[in-house]
Structure 1
Amino acid sequence: MTELPEAAEEEIQSKGKMTPTAYMSMLALAFSFLALLVSLYEALAVRAEQKADVWPYISISQRYNEDGYAIVVANKGVGPARIQNLQVTFNGQQFKELDNVILATLGKEKAFSYELYRTSVIDSGVMSADEEAVFFSVPWEPRTQQLAESWEQGLDVSICYCSIYEDCWQASNRTTEPREINACRAR
C-alpha cells in the first residue's frame, strides 16, 4: 500500500472541520443579520412615535349652562384632525340639514328661527390640536329644554376624521371614545 504524504493526510482529515476563518465569516454574518433586525425594530418604533406625536382625538359633547344649550366639537389630541365627513341622525333617521332636525324635534310651530341659533360648518377641513368649534348653540328658553331632552335621547352626531398619516377614527356624541376604522366613507 502506498503512503500519502503527511500534508495530504491532514487535508483529508480537515475536510469535515471548519477553519477559524470560516468561523469568523459565520459570526460576522450572524452579527449582520442581528443588526438588520435591530434596525428594522428601531424604524418601526420611530414610526409609532411619529404617529403618536400627531394623534388627533375628536370629542363631541353637549353643554348646558345659563347661556343655553350647545353641541361642541373639540380636538383634544396633539395633532391636527382632517375632518372627512359629519353625519347627523335623529331617532334613526339621517338628516343633511340641522334645520330639519330641529323641525323633526320641535315641530314647525315651535322651531327656532334662524336668528336665534347658530351653527358651524365642521364637515370638512382641518381641526388643529386644542381647537374647539360650536356645532350648534341656542339661548336658554322653555323650548330649548325640550330640544335638549329630545336630543339627549335620540341625536347622534358622528364625525369621521383622519390623522396626517391616514389613520382614521369615527367619533360620536353617543360613545366615550373614538373608534379606529380603516378609512372614512366618501361623502
Structure 2
Amino acid sequence: MDNVKWYKKPEMVVAFSALLISFVTAIVSMYSAYVDRAYARASVWPRLEIHRNLNTTHFEYSVTNSGNGPAVIKYGIVQYKSEPIKLWNDIPNLPSITQSHISNRILSPQNTVKPLSYTGKESDKLGETDKFIGIELCYCSIYEECWLIDKLNEPKSVNGCLVDKTIAFSE
C-alpha cells in the first residue's frame, strides 16, 4: 500500500495547479473588465465651462463642452442678486438680447452654446450687471455620472441632477 499523503499525489498536484491558474485567470479577467469600464467612461467624459465675453460693444455668456463626450444638461439655475430667475428678461433694465435654450439639452463635445448675447452700446452696463448674476448647471455623461458647474468652472461630482422646478431656469 502506498503511504503518500493525498495532497502529494501527482493527480492532486495537477488539480491544485489547475485551480490556482483558474483563480488567477478570474482575478485578471475581473481587473481587465474594471479597466475597460473605466476607459469607456473616460472616453465619453463631458466637461462644461461657462465663459463671459465682454468688450465695448458686445456681451455674452457661452457654455462650452471641452470634454470627450456629450454633456446631457439636466437643468440650469440663474440667479440675479441671489434670487432665482426664470428668464433673462427677469433681469431689470436688460436691453434687447439674443438668447438660446440652455436647460434640458445635449451639448456635443467641442461645441458651444450662447445662452445670452448682446451687441450694442449698452454692453458695459451688462458687464456691471454680471456681478449680480449667478449661473449653475447640472450635467451628466451618458453613463449618468453627474456634475455641478458654476461661473467658477470647478465641477463638483454629484449623485444626480434633481432640482426644484420653481427655481429652475426656463430658457
Q: TM-score range by the shorter chain?
A: 0.7 to 0.9
Residue by residue, what CA displacement relative to the aligned partner does 1:73-94 show, whole Å, maximum 9, x if unpaired?
Answer: 1111111111100100122211
Residue 66 of structure 1 deviates from its aligned partner by: 4.5
User: What is the aligned partner in structure 2 of residue 148 from structure 1?
Assistant: 127
Give me the TM-score of the superposition, normalised by structure 1: 0.81
Work out which of the residue numbers 113, 129, 140 in structure 2 matches 1:162.
Answer: 140
Query: Please, what is the CA RMSD of the aligned residues?
Result: 1.7
Alignment of 1:138 with 2:115, yes or no, is no
Residue by residue, what CA displacement relative to the aligned partner does 1:104-147 show, whole Å, maximum 9, x if unpaired?
Answer: xxxxxx442xxx31111110121111111111111242x43232
Higher helix share: 1
User: What is the aligned partner in structure 1 of residue 158 from structure 2?
Assistant: 181
Q: For the residues of structure 2 that align with 1:43 and 1:17, how far apart are their CA atoms?
A: 34
**For structure 2, which runs of at least 5 residues remain unmatched after alignment?**
166-171
User: What is the aligned partner in structure 2 of residue 106 from structure 1?
Assistant: none
Give me the TM-score of the superposition, normalised by structure 2: 0.88
Residue 176 of structure 1 deviates from its aligned partner by: 2.7
Give % identity: 29
Q: How does 1:82-101 map to 2 (within 5 A)?
A: 82-100=72-90
Residue 172 of structure 1 deviates from its aligned partner by: 1.0
Query: Contact between 2:59 and 2:118, CA under 8 Å: does it hold in 1?
Result: yes
**For structure 1, which runs of at least 5 residues remain unmatched after alignment?**
1-6, 104-109
